[in-house]
Structure 1
Amino acid sequence: MTQKQPVVTYRQLTAADYAAVIELGNIVHGDNYLTEENLPDYVERGLKDGVNLSWLAFVDGELAGIRLTFAPGQWDIDDYCTPEQWPVPADKMCYFKCSAVSEISRGLGIGRGLLERSIETAKALGCKAGLAHIWMQSPNNSAYSYFTRCGGEMVQQHPDRWYELSVHGGYHCPVCDGICHCTAGEMVLNFDN
């Protein structure tokens, strides 16, 4: 008996998807990483000039992956950013906020498919590159491996990137079992490579 190939489809995120996106994001990244309070802000940051940079993937009709991406000029350059080392100015760069793929759907190319769609829509806004803070302690260091395979290059590593969120925002890191001391790899993906 042959096994049926899963059908993967993609579409842009809408408000109707919030509950499912929060659930999947928190399963992958830890409790309260995405909330009813922060997700609407994140979605709004991904909308600019009628372009939506945030995408979802579905396997056989079930949510299997999310990619939240912020438009240029709609994300904060904070102490965990090193703009003097970026290959393009900030107004030509989107920010890859969050990616999550359900465990059961890994290996189907969903992460790359979501990233490619966000890149194509970001290019419509004039973006030349994207920045991400990669979770260096992700299980099996899969986040770094994935982003590197997609062309991302390390700029700098930042210890305790999500510490404040875990102390003051209710985020529960699944690796640190509470207060987060994980390192973020500040990585840039140049779209012209």
Structure 2
Amino acid sequence: MNRDLLSLKPLSLTDFNDVIALGNRVHGEGYLDNKSLKKMLERSVYNDLNCSYVLYDTSVTPKKLVGFRLTYAPNSWPLDKWCTPSHWPVEANLVAYFKCNTIHPDYQGKGLGGLLLKESVATLKQMGAKAGLSHIWMQSPGNASYKYFTKAGGQLIKTHPRRWHNDATIPDYICIICGKDCHCDATEMMLEFT
């Protein structure tokens, strides 16, 4: 794969259809929709900076979305029962949130997730963030999510059993592992920025 033929840019409204299609393909039907993605984009922007990115393969016509990273700026996302700020090495107001990293199955294992993460981190540093938190999907195929985030420097905070079970923020979600009644675990992990 020639990385010169890849186009990396901040997420915009024009990317929504591609992002929703890829997100639902990889994570399960109902994972993303226009309403939820619009809210995610709003949480990504701070001081005219956008920390969510999309990656397209421009060697094919039409260009093909091969990955995206959805990230929330610091102070733009709510702490919920799945967050344990008392265990964080950084003050909560300096923590961004890594919502989702998704790579098309045909492009996985090529370092593209790391490329998207690196770009988000660079923008988050400009926003004043000192770290990013994520809830890692522990049942991802081959446990790829945990391996990827650990390799990037993520540190384990806490594991939350059945994180997405009856999650009101994704009422139509159908997990690709469990179906409608998701029992997947999430590991709360933090990546400190250097």
TM-score range, shorter chain: over 0.9
The amino acid across from 1:145 in the alignment is: K
Matches within 5 A, 1:28-177: 28-59=26-57, 60=59, 61-165=63-167, 169-177=171-179
Task: Specify every segment of 5 or more residues in structure 1 that has no aligned partner in the other structure, as ranges.
Answer: none
Alignment partner for residue 24 of structure 2, among 10, 23, 26? 26
RMSD: 1.5
Matches within 5 A, 1:179-190: 179-190=181-192
Q: Distance in 1 between matches of 2:117 and 2:159?
A: 22
Contact 1:166 1:173 in 2 (8 A): no
After superposition, what is the alpha-carbon deviation per residue over 1:142-173, rounded to whole angstroms, capped at 9, x for unaligned?
A: 00000000000110000111112379711100
Q: Distance in 1 between matches of 2:11 and 2:35?
A: 16
TM-score by length of 1: 0.94
The amino acid across from 1:29 in the alignment is: H
Q: Distance in 1 between matches of 2:177 and 2:56?
A: 27
Q: Distance in 2 between matches of 1:107 and 1:141?
A: 13
Contact 1:167 1:179 in 2 (8 A): no
| 1:128 positional shift | 0.7
The percent identity for this pair of structures is 42
| 1:106 positional shift | 1.1
Contact 1:166 1:172 in 2 (8 A): no
Q: Distance in 1 between matches of 2:169 and 2:22?
A: 22
How many equivalent residue pairs?
189
Task: Specify every segment of 5 or more residues in structure 2 that has no aligned partner in the other structure, as ranges.
Answer: none
Change (3 A) 1:167 1:45: closer
